[in-house]
Amino acid sequence: MGETPQDRGITVGFDCQFEVHLKDSSLATILAAFAKLLPQLLTDFFQKVLVGFGEHVMAYKEKPFACASCGNDREFTWKTRHGKKTKIHAFYQWVELQQLQVVCKRCGSKLYLTRKLLGMEPKQRISVEVQRKLGLLGALTTFRVTV
């Protein structure tokens, strides 16, 4: 069904600009301000990478996905790159992403690309890899720390 997006790499340009109000220049204040920026930074980075890979995959003649209705794996158009929001666990925290959606040119059915690009099943919120890492993290935590 064609090569997967991971067979070839892409380069994603990621520029970010945030305004941060700091009361002083202590290390604790700077780290606390950075910790507040991380959720937005992670969400923006995920979205930028997914849109980049989505556009990369849509340029393939034969897509690494197929329409569930008619089996088409070649003719799709973008419906939206910033659609309905969906929530996934990105190991560090929950991330709310805007869905990437394409439309099959043959039958008109819609297909969400976000989870396909992430290697997740439809409606899955935590990937198997993240579950495994969180399980390992929990298993390595001593009882005294967990109580």
- Taking only the tens place, the pLDDT of each residue in 111-144 is 999 999 998 888 888 888 888 888 888 888 777 6
In this predicted structure, the answer to whether residue 4 has a pLDDT above a threshold of 60 is no
Give the pLDDT confidence score for residue 44 in this predicted structure. Answer: 92
pLDDT bracket for residue 2 (50, 70, 90): very low
Q: Considering only residues 138 and 64, tell me which one the structure prediction assigns the higher pLDDT.
A: 64
Judge whether 101 and 51 are in contact, CB under 8 Å. no
Give the pLDDT confidence score for residue 127 in this predicted structure. Answer: 83
In this predicted structure, the answer to whether residue 14 has a pLDDT above a threshold of 90 is no
Least confident of 59-73, 96-110, 130-144: 130-144
Give the pLDDT confidence score for residue 8 in this predicted structure. Answer: 67
pLDDT bracket for residue 79 (50, 70, 90): very high
**Distance in angstroms (rounded) separating the CA atoms of residues 102 and 110:** 6
Which SS3 state, helix, strand or coil, does residue 29 take? helix
Torsion sign across C-alpha atoms 35, 129, 125, 115: positive
Q: What is the mean pLDDT of residues 31-48?
A: 92
Pick from 54, 57, 111, 105: which is nearest to 81 by CA? 54
